[in-house]
Amino acid sequence: MTKLVVGCGYVGMRVARMWRRQEHRVCATTRSAAHADAFRCEGLEPVICDVLNPATLTQLPAADTVLYSVGHDRGAGQDMRDVYVAGLANVLDHLPTPQRFLHISSTSVYGQTAGEWVDEQAATAPREASGRIVLEAEQLLRQRLPDAVLLRFAGIYGPGRLQRREALLTGTPIVGDGERWLNLIHVEDGVAAVLAAERSARPGAIYNVCDDCPAPRREFYAEIARLLGAPPPRFIPPPPGTPAPAHDSANRRIANRKLRDELHVALSYPSYKEGLPAAL
């Protein structure tokens, strides 16, 4: 079978490798010709294209399964809405319709702020601009491919991806409220969720992809500091007259029961306490 990964980054590359181990033909997009040789060394067939340049998308191959995992590269100077919404529309305009389309979305589409539990039936009314853009991309996909499966990922962490590691090592204070809830998923469990969705997801279904145990931010960063031998984290309010960080508007606990009950994902890292040692 042929698989296509559009956005072969932190999660996408790991999924691509798993598909290659299963002896599938795997095509993967990249904007950089320099990355094409690295993809070939992984056994992948590179497709050099840019979701914001429709002329480069004419060679997207037909695939049985498509994983759409395009993220926003802040360093590239591109507008987030252009990447998430216009880019997705461009791909759908040129992509042969697959049997299975898996879309990596985000729990930022939820807007609850009172620490309540949130499942896939909860209202999506994001307060942050980024969440509204992610939700707009979901809505576009629903209109164009109603059977697409939406995977709403919590914060992804793992080897080479630990937020605020350097700040903790240097004792730099964290601006924000340390008591607000943080929802997480170790990258290996995220990959397991993608593969399970390919096998078992109902057409058009939505799944929250997160671990079993939301954590107060203070506890999460304190554990990173302990493992690094760094000072305990310090949280401080924003300076007077400065708005609170955007992430401070989020305060909810994401439920993963549907992931476990319908897709039968057995998490290797059910909380950050198991996952952080494997990430360092």
Question: Helix or strand or coil: residue 52?
Answer: coil
Tokens of 144: 């164009």
d(C-alpha 215, C-alpha 204), whole Å: 30
Q: Which sign, positive or negative, has the C-alpha torsion 122, 128, 132, 137?
A: negative
Give the strand pairing for 181-182 and 215-216.
Answer: antiparallel
d(C-alpha 218, C-alpha 234), whole Å: 8
pLDDT of residue 61: 96
**Ranges in the chain, pLDDT < 50:** none
β-pair partners for 186: 157
d(C-alpha 164, C-alpha 187), whole Å: 17
DSSP state of 164: T
d(C-alpha 56, C-alpha 33), whole Å: 13
- The fold of 2-159+184-212+254-268 is Rossmann fold (3.40.50)
pLDDT of residue 74: 65
CB 7 within 8 A of CB 71: yes
pLDDT of residue 75: 61
Question: Helix or strand or coil: residue 151?
Answer: strand
Give me the DSSP letters along 233-265. Answer: P-EEPPPTTSPPPGGGG---EE--HHHHHHH--
d(C-alpha 170, C-alpha 121), whole Å: 41
Tell me the pLDDT tens digit for each residue of 223-248: 999 999 999 999 998 888 777 676 67
d(C-alpha 103, C-alpha 227), whole Å: 34
pLDDT of residue 250: 85
Give the strand pairing for 65-68 and 45-48.
Answer: unpaired
CB 156 within 8 A of CB 190: yes
In this prediction the pTM is 0.95
Tell me the pLDDT tens digit for each residue of 78-133: 899 999 999 999 999 999 999 999 999 999 999 999 999 999 999 999 989 999 99
pLDDT of residue 221: 96
d(C-alpha 181, C-alpha 252), whole Å: 6
